[in-house]
A and B are shown apart, each in its own frame.
Chain A
Amino acid sequence: MNKGKRDHVIHYLNNNIRYDGRKKEEYREISVETGVIRTAEGSARVKFGETEVIAGVKFEVGKPYPDSPDAGTMMVNAELIPMSSPDFESGPPGIVAIELARVVDRGIRESGAIDFKKLCIKHGELVWTIIVDIVPVNAFGNLFDVASLAVMSAIKNAKFPELDGEKIDYKKLTKNSIPMEEEPISVTVLKIGDHLIVDPIPDEEKVLDARLTVATLKDETIVAMQKGGELSLSTEDIKSMIEISIKKAKEIRKFLK
Chain B
Amino acid sequence: MEKGKLLIKDKEVVVPGEVLAQGMSYLPSQGTYRKGNDVIASKLGLARVEGNVVKIIPVSGRYLPKKGDVIIAKVTDINIAGWTVDTNSAYRAMLSMKDATSDFIRRGSDLTRYFDIDDYMVTKIFNVTSQNLVDLTMKGPGLKKLEGGRIMTVSPSKVPRIIGKQGSMVSMIKQATSCNIIVGQNGVVFVKGINPEDEILTVKTIKKIEEESHVAGLTDKIKEFLDKKSKKR
Contact = CB atoms under 8 A, between A and B. Distances in A.
A5 B116 CA distance: 13
B148 A8 contact: yes
A15 B200 CA distance: 13
Contact of B196 (A1, A2, A3, A11): A11
B119 interface: yes
B148 A4 contact: yes
Interface stretch (A16-24, A132-140, A192-200): A16-24
A230 B57 CA distance: 46
A12 interface: yes
B119 A21 contact: no
A4 B147 contact: yes
B147 A21 contact: no
Interface string B84-122: 000000000000000000000000000000000011100
Interface string B130-149: 00000000000000000111
Interface residues of B, number: 13
Contacts of B147: 4
Interface string A1-44: 11111011001100101011100000000000000000000000
B200 A4 contact: no
A17 B196 contact: yes
Contact of B118 (A2, A20, A21): A2
Nearest to A203: B150
Nearest to B74: A2
Contacts of B150: 5, 8, 19, 203
A203 B148 CA distance: 15
Interface residues of A, number: 15
B52 to A, nearest CB: 40
Contacts of B197: 15, 17, 21
Contacts of A203: 150
Contact of A8 (B119, B149, B195, B200): B149
Interface string B143-172: 000011111000000000000000000000
B204 interface: yes
Contacts of A17: 196-197, 200
Nearest to B118: A2
A12 B148 contact: no
Nearest to A13: B196
A143 to B, nearest CB: 21
Contacts of B149: 8
Contacts of B196: 11-12, 15, 17
Interface string B180-196: 00000000000000011
A20 B200 contact: yes
Residue in B118, B149, B150, B195 with the greatest tally of chain A CB atoms within 10 Å: B150
A219 B200 CA distance: 38
Residue in A2, A4, A20 with the greatest tally of chain B CB atoms within 10 Å: A4
Contacts of A2: 118
A1 B148 CA distance: 15
Contacts of B148: 4, 7-8
Interface string A50-68: 0000000000000000000
9 tightest A-B CB contacts, nearest first: A2-B118, A21-B200, A12-B196, A17-B196, A15-B196, A8-B150, A15-B195, A8-B148, A17-B197
20 contacts: A2-B118, A4-B120, A4-B147, A5-B118, A5-B150, A5-B151, A7-B148, A8-B148, A8-B149, A8-B150, A11-B196, A15-B195, A15-B197, A17-B196, A17-B197, A17-B200, A19-B150, A21-B197, A21-B204, A203-B150
